[in-house]
Structure 1
Amino acid sequence: MMNVRSYSLGPIQTNCYIVSNKEKECLIFDPGEEAGRIIKVIRSNGLKPLGIFLTHAHFDHIGAVDAVREAFGLPVWIHEKEVSWLDDPSKNGSSKYAALPDYVVTKPAEENIIKAEQVFEISNFVFKAIFTPGHSPGSISYVFNQDGFALVGDTLFEQGVGRTDLLGGSTKVLLASIHNKLLTLPEDTIVYPGHGNYTTIGAEMETNPFLNGF
């Protein structure tokens, strides 16, 4: 059984997830800010990180990537459609906010660019990267079927859905992603979103007002 640690980080309180196994190996999802805090958590718990996975490349999800990557010598995975966003503040959104620095992140190695939906097997972590665009064109959800949870970025929230007024966003595409990719998961699947509280697929099917009438 995997252990999922959640940390709300940075000015927008973006959720970073550290998923670990019994061997204390871990994967890091969306290290968006506060690199020092992430590094301290990993070291203080004796964890051995194996990689960083990004649900998408908005600035609040990528801010600590370089520092965490360099601290542990980690590979980084991201959808091919948003590789160019990492070092382009106009695409990752940081340039829109005068109070924020421009977010510039080093691009990953070619072999870590996700070009198709795929199953990852890293040590005893087994999960699938599924494409859930709409909030952004390269949004990915990572589904741990055997462990009953999914990390969905800013695609689906408790009683909400991701915004679609940013670069490459589309409400129609977002709702199709949710209905065709996420709501087809078992209803007891725990949903870990990019912001706010966790929920379940069943709960959102029943009560999410944004999904009614699709």
Structure 2
Amino acid sequence: MTDRPPTADAPDQRRSATETGSDGVRSPAEGVRELRLGPDGSDYFRAYVVTGERPTLFDAGPAETNETLIERLRGLGVEVERLVVTHADFDHVGGYDAVVDAFDVETYVPRESDVADDVATPPDVRYGHGDDVAGFEAVHVPGHKPDNYAFVDEGRDLGILGDAVIGADRRGLPAGYFLLPEAIYSHDLVAAERNLERLLDYEFEVGLVYHGSSVLDRARERLEAYVEFPNKPEWDGDDPGVGS
């Protein structure tokens, strides 16, 4: 994704937990670090590190931010052991090889992703819908791209949502809510909306996104309000299903 409009504030976003330091790192949830990879620490591109016994990096930004990504990771003082790719867009997989070169990581890539031309080192693990990946359940949410995944850890009350949704303030609306990704960047926006229903099978208070502001409280509730709008009719046609 590209151009990002100015953001709007939402009073219920927990700013104290999300203030960005001069190192371009902030903490949107307990045990999670958001790495801001854009110019001057902006969130134009980002990645997430889930700390713990085996620190895990979710996505690796575009190739143009490789130096910043590695600098941010070194600055955390943790040795990343796993790299999980949510989908193979350039701004999520571009730093894959840089991370592999810098750290002894085990790599996880969706089984639907075609990364043969994008990465020099083949993935260690190909994951699918329902798999346990680094303590999160992988949820296939195709639409934005056929290989798009979200990850939910109900024990942490946390969802890392890939590009299943974006923050509403990316499109000039108040922060603290979700929107579908922009149609111009999406493979099948109808499937993207329909498949959001899969995420309602899970509970998560915090929903982290890669474009626009994340939703830091009542995330699943707000997603349900967006997906299950009043007088919503039944979908026509076959369910796109896992693997669509």
- Shorter-chain-normalised TM-score: which range? 0.7 to 0.9
**Larger strand proportion of the pair:** 1
Tell me the equivalent position of 2:195.
177
Higher relative contact order (CA 8 A, sep 6+): 2
- How many Å separate the matches in 1 of 2:38 and 2:126? 26
Tell me the equivalent position of 1:8.
36
Tell me the equivalent position of 1:97.
none
Question: Does 2:41 match 1:28?
Answer: no
Dislocated runs of 4+, deviation >3 Å: 163-167, 210-214
Do the aligned residues in 1 keep the contact of 2:87 with 2:149 (CA within 8 Å)?
Answer: yes
- How many Å separate the matches in 1 of 2:34 and 2:130? 25
- How many Å separate the matches in 1 of 2:162 and 2:228? 17
- How many Å separate the matches in 1 of 2:77 and 2:46? 21
- How many Å separate the matches in 1 of 2:209 and 2:193? 16
Do the aligned residues in 1 keep the contact of 2:97 with 2:121 (CA within 8 Å)?
Answer: no
Shift of 1:48: 1.7
- How many Å separate the matches in 2 of 1:166 and 1:45? 32
- Pick the aligned partner of 1:163 from 167, 182, 192: 182
Tell me the TM-score normalised to structure 2 length: 0.67
Do the aligned residues in 1 keep the contact of 2:32 with 2:49 (CA within 8 Å)?
Answer: yes
- How many Å separate the matches in 2 of 1:151 and 1:26? 15
- Pick the aligned partner of 2:224 from 199, 205, 211: 205
Do the aligned residues in 1 keep the contact of 2:85 with 2:109 (CA within 8 Å)?
Answer: yes
Tell me the equivalent position of 2:161.
152
- How many Å separate the matches in 2 of 1:14 and 1:37? 11
Question: Does 2:141 match 1:118?
Answer: no
Do the aligned residues in 1 keep the contact of 2:128 with 2:138 (CA within 8 Å)?
Answer: no
Superposed counterparts of 1:54-93, under 5 Å: 54-84=85-115, 87=117
Shift of 1:151: 0.7
Tell me the TM-score normalised to structure 1 length: 0.75
Partner of 2:208: helix, strand, or coil?
strand
The 3 A distance-change label for structure 1 pair 164 and 107 is: farther
Q: Which runs of 5+ in 2 are unaligned?
A: 1-28, 169-178, 234-244
User: Which has the higher Rg, Structure 1 or Structure 2?
Assistant: 2
Question: Does 2:205 match 1:189?
Answer: yes
Question: Does 2:149 match 1:140?
Answer: yes
Do the aligned residues in 2 keep the contact of 1:28 with 1:49 (CA within 8 Å)?
Answer: yes
> What is the one-letter code of the residue matched to 1:30?
D
Aligned Cα RMSD in Å?
A: 2.5
Alignment size in residue pairs: 185
> What is the one-letter code of the residue matched to 1:195?
H
- How many Å separate the matches in 1 of 2:120 and 2:196? 30
User: 150-159 vs 11-20, which deviates more?
Assistant: 11-20
Do the aligned residues in 2 keep the contact of 1:10 with 1:32 (CA within 8 Å)?
Answer: no
Q: Which runs of 5+ in 1 are unaligned?
A: 88-103
